[in-house]
């Protein structure tokens, strides 16, 4: 069995060669996708953040010698077992298009938090949330996570069925933010929004045809910014459970943005609206 990496001992021992590729595609089902029991993360920022997260169960790290040097002390302090690996083996595992940067971390997914648990936390009284209405693309959700971490969002509330499960692609797009912003996944988003409203969380739906500018209606937290999927926007029932519908004023000819860009701008505008 491999031992935790110790720079004084030189290269870590090599254990059994990792599989030649990720598991096969899941069978298509109408049921909500179940989170995997284990996943492999890649990319230096993503893996470094996962190693530093005490709430993340780390199983094994595969890394080139150069990647280990770049990761630094976080490998030692995490206590994870380490095996050396070649870039070619990582290419074979993740595919040549994956920018793995010489590192792969096998780990368990981060458990979601329950809505009731979140609402029982005293910090909910000053929470900032993002509510995603069937935003399914993992690249978009990863980018949204990155903005959410930058603007100190306390949690992301989303649907259990039409949202991406934790994956290497989502984690890479989030560039470490997955370790900082928890998910609350609910089967019925309208019911979740109703519970939030009952606890005093103002839910501001983003709509290009909203009656007022976002900055003017945000106010002090707690609040949640509600964003819909690209193309469809907010579903009617989701709109009905928003406290108010607001827009991002844009002077140009195009009035709608990619959902991840809209999330970043909305978070910035909401922060500005807090101090007015």
Domain stop point among 76, 107, 138: 107
Confidence check: pLDDT of 31 > 50: no
Looking at the fold, whether 102 and 119 belong to one and the same domain comes out as no
111 compared with 32, residue with greater pLDDT = 111
Domain stop point among 73, 107, 141: 107
Query: For position 35, which CATH number holds?
Result: 3.30.1330.30
Pair type for strands 223-228 and 128-133: parallel
Confidence check: pLDDT of 179 > 70: yes
Q: Which residues contact 267 (CB under 8 A, 6 or more apart)?
A: 130, 147, 148, 150, 151, 153, 225
Confidence check: pLDDT of 60 > 80: yes
| Averaged confidence pLDDT in the chain | 85
Cis status, amide bond into 259, omega within 30 of 0? no
Looking at the fold, whether 145 and 189 belong to one and the same domain comes out as yes
Domain stop point among 84, 107, 130: 107
Residue located via tokens 């993503």 = 46
Q: Count Cβ atoms within 10 A of the Cβ of residue 225 and give its class: 0-12 exposed, 13-18 middle, 19 or more buried.
A: buried
Contact at 8 Å (CB) between 20 and 92?
Answer: yes
Confidence check: pLDDT of 214 > 70: yes
Pair type for strands 58-63 and 103-107: antiparallel
Looking at the fold, whether 34 and 139 belong to one and the same domain comes out as no
Looking at the fold, whether 101 and 121 belong to one and the same domain comes out as no
Tens-place pLDDT, residues 65-108: 999 999 999 999 999 999 999 999 999 888 888 899 999 999 99
Contact at 8 Å (CB) between 4 and 83?
Answer: no
Evaluate if pTM is beyond 0.85: no
Domain that holds residue 31: 7-107
Confidence check: pLDDT of 162 > 60: yes
Q: What is the DSSP string of 160-221?
A: SSSSPPS-HHHHHHHTTGGGTS-EEEES-HHHHHHHHHHTT-EEEEE-TT-SEEHHHH--SS
- Can you tell me the distance from the alpha carbon of 69 to that of 67, in angstroms, rounded to the nearest whole number? 5
Looking at the 3D structure of the chain, how many domains does it have?
2
Question: 3-class SS at 86?
Answer: coil
3-class SS string, 63-109: ECHHHHHHHCCHHHHHCCEEEECCHHHHHHHHCCCCCCCCEEEEECC
CB atoms within 10 A of CB 259: 24
Query: For position 198, which CATH number holds?
Result: 3.40.1280.10
pLDDT at 7: 43
pLDDT at 97: 86
């Amino acid at each position: 069995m491999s031992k935790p990496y110790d720079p004084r001992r030189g290269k870590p021992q090599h254990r059994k060669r990792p599989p030649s590729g990720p598991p096969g595609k899941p069978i298509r089902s109408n049921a909500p996708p179940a989170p995997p029991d284990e996943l492999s993360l890649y990319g230096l920022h993503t893996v470094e953040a996962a190693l530093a997260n005490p709430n993340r169960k780390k199983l094994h790290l595969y890394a080139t010698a150069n990647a280990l040097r770049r990761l630094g002390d976080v490998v030692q302090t995490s206590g994870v077992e380490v095996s050396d690996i070649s870039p070619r083996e990582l290419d074979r595992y993740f595919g040549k298009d994956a920018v793995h940067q010489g590192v792969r971390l096998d780990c368990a997914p981060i458990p979601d938090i329950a809505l009731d648990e979140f609402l029982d936390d005293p910090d909910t009284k000053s929470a900032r949330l993002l509510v995603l209405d069937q935003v399914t693309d993992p690249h978009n959700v990863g980018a949204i996570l990155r903005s959410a971490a930058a603007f100190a969002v306390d949690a992301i509330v989303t649907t259990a069925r039409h949202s991406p499960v934790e994956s290497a692609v989502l984690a890479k797009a989030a560039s470490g933010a997955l370790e900082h912003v928890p998910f609350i996944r609910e089967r019925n988003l309208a019911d979740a929004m109703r519970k939030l409203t009952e606890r005093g969380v103002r839910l501001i739906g983003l709509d290009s045809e909203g009656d007022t500018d976002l900055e003017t209606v945000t106010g002090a937290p707690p609040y949640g910014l509600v964003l819909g999927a690209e193309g469809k926007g907010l579903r009617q029932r989701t709109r009905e459970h928003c406290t108010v519908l607001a827009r991002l004023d844009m002077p140009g000819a195009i009035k709608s943005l990619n959902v991840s860009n809209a999330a970043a701008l909305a978070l910035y505008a909401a922060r500005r609206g807090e101090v007015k």
